[in-house]
Amino acid sequence: MQEFYIGWMDKAPRTFAQFVKKYLLLILPVIIVIAVLLGALQKKFSKGNFEFGQPTTVTGIYFNHPVPLIKVINGKDIFGNISYITIPLVGYGKHGADGIISDIEKEKNISLDQKEVSLKGTLLYNDGKTIMQVDKNDTVLVHYSGKQIASELLPQKKDLGTLSIKGEIVDSKCYFGVMKPGEGKPHRDCAIRCILGGIPPVLVVKNEKGEANYYLLVDADGAKINQSVQPFVATPVTVNANAIQYDDWIVLYVNKNAGIREISRSAFYQPGNAVACVMR
Amino acid sequence: MSASYQAVGWNKQKKKYDWIIFSFCVVYLIVFIGVTAYVNPDYTFETVLVRSTSTLALLLLHVILSIGPLARINKKFLPLLYNRRHLGVTMFTVALVHASFGIFQFHALGNVNPLVSLFMSNTNYGSLADFPFQALGFFALIIFFLMAITSHDFWLHNLGPKVWKTLHMMVYPAYFLIIMHVMLGVIQYETNPVFVLILGVGSSTLIVLHLIAGTREVKKDNEEFGLKQDGFVMVCGVNDIEDNRAKMFCIDKERIAVFKFERKLFAVNNVCKHQNGPLGEGKIVDGCLTCPWHGYQYLPQNGQSPPPFKEKVSTYDVKVQGQNVWVNPKPYPEGTERKGANF
């Protein structure tokens, strides 16, 4: 007589219990192998870092354009040139820093543009670029000097002409440290939300070795282009624009109606062929 | 088959089942997170949480969907079927963790409500490659939620078996949504073909198992019975049915379970009122025909669950001529008393 299984009985018949035991012993290694494969074969996480919970105060020159940023001077290099790093500012969450800066200016009835300031915020950085998050709930403006700055501290501009480059538009905050990944299809919604919230969009251009150049995007008049890039975020695009180097960032002045074109993924990465030269 | 509803009694089997689910989930999470941290020292907690829970939920979904056909192919898998709802609720809980963190990570702290952001950030609904894959996962989660909250027999009783079963069959559209959620999302980011391969093996295994189980069922349903007489159809020999056991026959699209009990043959509708389990694969236990899926019971002579339970199935006339069993496929109203056939 064959055994019969009933779930509400306290114990399964012996043959059923033995069979299920064998099945479980078989699928346990399968589960472990799947976990190992899925864990090990994910794309490498970026080396970006977000110093969450560790605010830093930086002193430098604040500029409103091309995006809100602070230029931090760090002495002079061996050739006697001023050594600096330009740190674009972003707000808390998925917001730009414009509102916070504008509130400070209104509240204190001052203009921060081209003035020496000390700002408190949270740094995030990756691949040689640094961004700072400022939060309206903190005391962002730690120090303000109303003095006009020396002309040598103004941004060093260089016209690079018209460029046509292929890359991916990302939001600068997630890409450079907050999110891993901060690019690609899984991150598209977040990047769109960040860019629509005012975080500066950046065009990432990589060659086949994974080396990247980064370009800040503004419209042809130097105003924000955030709304117009929404359909092109996290997808392969060609950007035609006038490029101007501002210190250690290149800014693309993009015609918002015709300057960005979506391209096929196959045209984006062509193994063996660099799609862009990487400038260091 | 309860007349009133009390806290579910966790018998020894249920406890064992739940411990095994818990242990396997923990093993998976530890291995996935451990390997990720080892291979990628630059990992972030949020991303590992989102990924470990998503892959675990998908793995559980494959296990859940394989249990049905496996139990049809081999009855020894029935212990896995009986408490399958526990696996379902576990899978939903894990998927909920994934979705909650995903929505928070990708949509919260922005300039619109996170749920508005979910549907309105990427609006490429007309493009397959650029389709907003997160919306697909959201709708699948809603289905899993409805299934999880209605998994108790209270809802089966109140919604009725037909509505309840239809709702729970929505797991298949939900599975399709999840596959598309993965294919149009992370698969477009990851470059290693192993991810597609693992997903392909999982889906193919499910399809093959369902085809094998379904083909067997269709074959059984299409069995031809040559001899007919006065509305009766000859189905088998008396000795083809074991004592206290049943056999299923599909006559004129009517699935009928014929069973032998105390030297008599009885016939009732094969479909259990609980979850459409096959009574023809059941056994007489304590004088009742007992469904192999969840142990629902029916009295042989009238197809009624023993009082105070109220489930009823149709009954049929059976007769024995010589050594052959004849069944009339015309059903009597559910719960109608029949004498059975002596042999």
Does the pLDDT of residue B4 top 70, yes or no? no
pLDDT bucket at A152, cuts 50 / 70 / 90: confident
Lowest mean pLDDT among A194-208, B2-16, B136-150: B2-16
B35, B59, B294: residue with CB nearest A36: B35
CATH of region B228-342:
2.102.10.10
Stretch(es) of chain A classified as CATH 2.40.50:
49-153, 157-268
Nearest CA in chain A to B104: A190
Q: Which residues of B78-111 are buried (b: 16+ CB within 10 A; e: fewer)?
A: bbbbbbbbbbbbbbbbbbbbbbebbbebbbeebe
Evaluate the CA torsion angle A35, A36, A41, A42 in order and state its sign: positive
Query: Among partner residues B59, B110, B111, which is closest to A34 by beta-carbon distance?
Result: B59
Does the beta-carbon distance from B110 to A92 stay under 8 Å? no
Supply the DSSP string of chain A, one letter for each residue.
Answer: ------TTSSS--HHHHHHHHHHHHHHHHHHHHHHHHHHHTSPPPP--EE-TT--EEEEEEEE-SSSSEEEEEEEE-TTSPEEEEEEEEE-STT-BSHHHHHHHHHHHT---TTEEEEEEEEEEEETTEEEEE--TTS--EEEEEEEEPPGGGS--EEEEEEEEEEEEEEEHHIIIIISSS-SSGGGHHHHHHHHHTTPPEEEEEE-TT--EEEEEEEETTSS--HHHHGGGBTSEEEEEEEEEEETTEEEEEE-TTTSEEE--HHHH-BTTB-SSPPP-
Specify the CATH architecture of the domain A157-268.
Beta Barrel (2.40)
The tokens describing B187, both together, are 């698969």
Q: What is the mean pLDDT of residues A40-57?
A: 96
pLDDT in tens, A81-140: 888 999 999 999 999 999 999 999 999 999 999 999 999 999 999 999 999 999 999 999
Give A225 to chain B, closest Cα distance, Å.
16
> Looking at residue A268, what is its pLDDT?
59
Residue A270 banded pLDDT, cuts 50, 70, 90: very low
Cα–Cα distance for residue pair A216/A17, rounded to 1 Å: 64
Contact state of B43 with A45 under an 8 Å Cβ cutoff: yes
Contact A39 B130 (CB under 8 A): no
Band (pLDDT 50/70/90 cuts) for residue B271 is very high
Q: Which of B122, B209, B275, B284 to mutate to test the interface with A (most CBs of A within 10 A)?
A: B122
Q: Which residues of A37-62 are buried (b: 16+ CB within 10 A; e: fewer)?
A: bbbebbeebbebbbeeeebeebebbb
**B182-216 pLDDT, tens per residue?**
999 999 999 999 999 999 999 999 999 999 999 99
List the end-to-end C-alpha distance of chain A, in Å, as a whole number: 80
Which of these CATH numbers, 2.60.40, 3.30.450, 2.40.50, 3.30.70, describes A49-153? 2.40.50
* Chain A residue with Cα closest to B44: A180
Band of the pLDDT at A146, cuts 50, 70, 90?
Answer: confident
Between positions 134 and 193 of A, the ones with CB within 8 A of B are: 179-181, 184-190, 192-193
Does A279 reach chain B within 8 Å, measured CB to CB? no
Token pair for A239: 């950007």
Tell me the CA distances in angstroms from B246 to A80, A140, A241, B252, B256, one per residue in order: 97, 79, 79, 19, 10
Q: Residue B266 pLDDT more than 70?
A: yes
Greater confidence, B111 or B6?
B111
Q: What is the ipTM of this complex?
A: 0.92
d(CA B323, CA B343): 8
Q: Of how many residues is chain A composed?
A: 280
Distance CA A65, CA A79 (A): 28
The token pair that represents A194 in the structure block: 């960040």
Closest to A276 (Cα-Cα) out of A205, A220, A203: A205
Which two structure tokens, joined as six digits, stand for A238?
A: 């060609």
Q: Which pLDDT tens digit goes with each residue over B287-302? A: 999 999 889 999 999 9
| Predicted confidence (pLDDT) at residue B3 exceeds the cutoff of 90 | no
Residue A263 touches chain B, beta carbons under 8 Å: no
